[in-house]
Structure 1
Amino acid sequence: MPNWGEWAALAGGVPVTEERDPARDAARIEQLDPAYHHHDPSVPERIWDWIGEQLDKALGSVGVPASGISTVLLFVLVLVVLAGLLWWRLGAPRRAAGRAVALFGSGGPAGADEHRAAAAGHAAAGRWTEAVREQLRALIRGLEERTLLDVRPGRTADEAAAEAGRVLPEHAEALRRAARTFDDVVYGEHTADAGAYQALLDLDRAVTASRPTLAGSTS
């Protein structure tokens, strides 16, 4: 509803106009210039700030002082990083013993020398994953052929390494690492390379030249 001033203006035939401030309008237009927003926070920064504000409110509501919020955030970040490292090092839950893959699959080379030849062929072609798998199979098959290990088709790499380490204790740690390499390759958590293959090849040669430690032996 018009006020008294507007009624008076209408009665006098003078059109009603809204007063404008030229200086204020010019400042508003100038602020639209992108140059004034060059240092504005980016969208990710705004999202992060918003998350921080929500955390501030949430933590404040449960009595956490504002000065301790940065410490809490840093602690959470450290936990996330540690969890990621453990996941990478230990592997996904699928590496549970109950689902471990047998060292020897169905078909393929049968004797140690055949596994060694297959490994060498894969290595020559740069197929390091296959070379690593066949080389460890050659090592364990060789121990079976020497009757140092019983032939057991369902044996896993970890089981084979543990059993071989008991009769060849000087190689127990290297055998354990070899089994870990095999598992990493099988599950695709790490990529095999020439170094991994060469390490297994050297271990195979060392194990082949080793004499077993028999139960009850004093020498």
Structure 2
Amino acid sequence: MLRAADSSPLSWARSGSEPPVTVPRDPAREAARRELSKRLYHENDPSLFERALNAFWDRLGDVFGAASTAAPGGALGLTVIALAVAAVAAALWWRLGTPRRRPPSAAALFDDRPRSAADHRAAAEAHAAQGHWNQAVQERMRAIVRSLEERALLDTRPGRTADEAAAEAGHTLPAHTARLRSAAHDFDDVTYGGRTATEQAYQRIAGLDRDLDHTKPRLTTHSAPTAPQHTRQGTP
């Protein structure tokens, strides 16, 4: 039998009459480690992914716990703040749409089919009547630029972009510089940026088109050169 003074859990007796055999501490620990490392004891252990997921949720819980302590109103206040942020983000997404990167170089304003300003206006009005605001904005912007070319306020130059036309027209029509840039921006948004035009955007461009027709350009005046004065020489 085991001696009362022996407190080691890994002690065995060969028989009741023989002295006990005690396993040293280090070999016993190593034997226990080898035994517990067998697959039999780990069949129901969580996988690496499950352990990582549990650690993530524990960490997230700690973060929210700390935030709820610091936020006014505790957990309820934190919930209200989170809902407010989500509402603002949803409103911005609904208003601005999915952001898309504008290409580094915009394509030409006109295609290979030359048309007059009146043709572009008629096409714009036809699209607007059907509620096709993207096409209406595009055609009205083309009508503006074509009209300026017909009035010789812009030179007829193939390959010009809407931004270039707005910048050049602003030199001779300075009172409308900001509106011209805004119209070019709307044109680029619906043509290259994937945005959807609105009726209000079309009405702004159409109003600009009408105002430009009644605006006189600022002409650059150059002073006439002064005729050279000749010194009259007296007769000897």
TM-score strictly above 0.5 = yes
In structure 2, distance between residues paired with 1:90 and 1:215: 43
- Determine which of 82, 105, 118 is the counterpart of 2:111: 105
Superposition pairs for residues 26-175 of structure 1, below 5 Å? 51=56, 53-54=58-59, 94-96=101-103, 98-107=104-113, 110-175=115-180
- The answer to which structure has the higher helix fraction is 1
Amino acid paired to 2:102: R
Give 3-state SS (helix, strand or coil) of 1:153's partner.
Answer: coil
In structure 2, distance between residues paired with 1:56 and 1:173: 51
CA RMSD of aligned residues (A): 3.8
TM, length-normalised to structure 1: 0.57
- Determine which of 196, 202, 205 is the counterpart of 1:190: 196
In structure 2, distance between residues paired with 1:99 and 1:196: 23
Q: In the TM superposition, what is the alpha-carbon distance from 1:171 to its structure 2 partner?
A: 0.4
Is the Cα contact below 8 Å between 2:127 and 2:133 reproduced in 1? yes
Q: Which residue of 1 aligns with 2:208?
A: 203
Is the Cα contact below 8 Å between 1:115 and 1:135 reproduced in 2? yes
State which structure, 1 or 2, has the greater radius of gyration over its C-alpha atoms.
2
Work out the number of aligned pairs and report it.
Answer: 162
For residues 156-215 of structure 1, the C-alpha deviation after alignment (integer angstroms, 9 at most, x for no partner) is 11111111111101001111111111111113223332x222211110010111111123
Q: In the TM superposition, what is the alpha-carbon distance from 1:53 to its structure 2 partner?
A: 3.0
In structure 2, distance between residues paired with 1:89 and 1:159: 25
Q: In the TM superposition, what is the alpha-carbon distance from 1:127 to its structure 2 partner?
A: 1.6
For residues 81-109 of structure 1, the C-alpha deviation after alignment (integer angstroms, 9 at most, x for no partner) is 89x969x869856414x3312211232x6
Structure 1, unaligned stretches of length 5 or more? 1-47, 59-66, 69-73
Higher-RCO chain (CA-CA 8 Å, sequence separation at least 6)? 1
Structure 2, unaligned stretches of length 5 or more? 1-52, 64-68, 71-80, 224-236
Give 4+ residue runs of structure 1 displaced > 2 Å after superposition: 48-58, 88-94, 190-193, 214-218
In structure 2, distance between residues paired with 1:49 and 1:214: 74
